[in-house]
Each structure stands twice: as structure tokens, then as C-alpha cells.
Amino acid sequence: MTESPDVSASRTRVAEHHVGREREIEIPLAAVAAGRDIVLEGPPGTSKTTMLRAITEEWGIPLLFVEGNADLTPAKLVGHHNPSRVLREDYSPDNFVPGPLTEAMQTGGFLYIEEFNRAPDDTLNTLLTAMADRRLAIPRVGMIEALPTFRVIASMNPYDNVGTTKLSSSITDRLNRLAVDYQGAEAEESIVRLRAAPAGPLADRLVADAVAVTRATRTHTFVRQGSSVRGAIDLVAVAMQLAELRDVAVADDDRYPELVFDAMVVALSGRIHIDEAVDITPEAVLREIWQDRFILEPALAEPG
């Protein structure tokens, strides 16, 4: 992309890939169109990657992924010289292998760093230079000048503090920020229908129940971080297959509730993170949530 994008047209086309994310699309789109870098702060499964992929595809530029962790050294971010060629040819720009930062600068792409606050300080300082100057001096290679569309997009999970570090003010001062949270129940039900593509009365009830129990994992007392809507999508997909195997064809079948629980265990037990101070299994938490949905709520709804 060499010309300034039509932001309004881009917003319309990018929104076609999402359900109920108008604000979360408009703000990052406005920020990157204005030439700014941004950090998206929110739990997994809140459409951050999908949104960025849609923007870069719309603009025809690369999206390069990097996972922030203790192993992300400046050399891995910037690049390295091919060792075998160095032995034969000595160091030269021709045998330099660009890292994701260098590649994003050279191609005018978005460098997307997940788990941004897990990266080491010296790596973040290297990134800071590229963000501040829009160029990077690489020994034995020369000065890399970023193309105009180069952006740094970072993401952080506010619910996970294990292994993370507090970002310095020099980093945060260079980044715009947007909090991206879970969507409402209605929007999540629409997403599950779109992704799992179920149809019929049984599927309709499954979608509602799957979204309800998945959302309940986010507010349970013993859960530090609950499941994203991906858990509900997988729950419906697994439950539909179980229904076929067990010949459960209608939502009022007496076997339906237990079918849902079995699908919950498969789809959600690995996605919820229990508070370390509590001695309880994910399965026990899910059984409580299941009982609330299929025993307590129906009992409260009965007349008298």
C-alpha cells in the first residue's frame, strides 16, 4: 500500500469479518491510519488477531507474528547473519537473514507482538528505537528505513501476571492503548452460530447453553481466567457430534444435560485457569456451573 487508505471504506469491509465489534475496529483502524503504534489489552479470544489480519489484508500489507517471551532476544527480533555463509564469505548484507522486526520495516507490514509484557527489557529497547526513529542501524548491514505503513501492534493479557514485567514509561509513552474485552451474550451467540454453523431446535438450545456456561467461567469465584468464546464454539461442535453418537435428537431429551456436561469438560476444562490458592479441579468447577444452569436455574423458574 503506497497511498493513504480510505479509512471509511476499510472500516466497512473489515467489519464484515466481525460480529458486534464496531468500536474495537474503528479505534485501532484510526490509530494505525494516523501512523501510530498501539497496544491491545484484553484476554485471549477477543478477536484481536482476526481484526489485525482483516486490516492488513484490506491494505495489502504483511502481518508478522512474534510471541513475547524470555527467549525473544534482540537478535531474534532484528535478524542474524547466516553462519555457514559467514564462514565462506565473511559478514555481508547479502548473508543477513532479516528477523520479523526488520522484515516488517522493509515491507511496510504490521509487527504483531503477542504477550508483549513478557519480552525482555533489552528486546523492548531495540523495539523502542525502531518505533521512535522509524529506522534501525544493523551492524555489517547498514541503516534500515521503515516504509510508511510499518506499525508495531502489541497485545497483553490483563488477567495473567505470571512471568510478566511492568512496561517502562518510555515504552508506554510510544504506544496508544485500547482495552478489548469480551462481547455480550447476544454477540457471542451470533459468533458461535457463525463458526459452528449449527441449525435446528437442538442446535439453537446448544448455542444458548454453550454461551451461558462459557460466560459463567469468567465470573466463577475460583477461576482466575475463564474461557473465551472459542470454548463455546468447540462445546457446540463436540456436543453436536455426541448428540449424533448418542441419538439425542431433541433438546428436551433427558440425556441432553449430561451430554452438555461431557462436551463442557472437553471444550472448557483446558481453557479455564483456576486460582492457585484454591484446591479444586477444573472439572469440579464446570460441574458447579453445569448444576447452576441445568438444575438450579430451572428450579428457580418453576412456579410457586
User: Residue 223 in contact with residue 275, Cβ under 8 Å?
Assistant: yes
Q: Hey, which residues does 177 pair with through a beta bridge?
A: 39
pLDDT at 18: 65
Q: What parts of the chain have a pLDDT lower than 50? A: 1-4
What beta strand segments (E) does 13-131 contain? 38-41, 63-67, 79-81, 96-98, 110-114
Topology (CATH) of 7-179: Rossmann fold (3.40.50)
In the chain, domain spans: 7-179, 185-301
Element (H, E) at 137: strand 135-138
Q: What is the pLDDT of residues 204-215, one digit of tens each?
A: 999 999 999 999
Instruction: Name which of 262, 194, 271 is nearest 227 in CA terms.
Output: 271
Q: What is the pLDDT of residues 235-253, one digit of tens each?
A: 999 999 999 999 998 888 8
CATH architecture, domain defined by 185-301: Orthogonal Bundle (1.10)
* pTM for the full predicted model: 0.80
pLDDT at 2: 44
β-strand 135-138 against 142-145: which pairing, if any? Answer: antiparallel
Residues 6+ apart with CB under 8 A from 86: 95
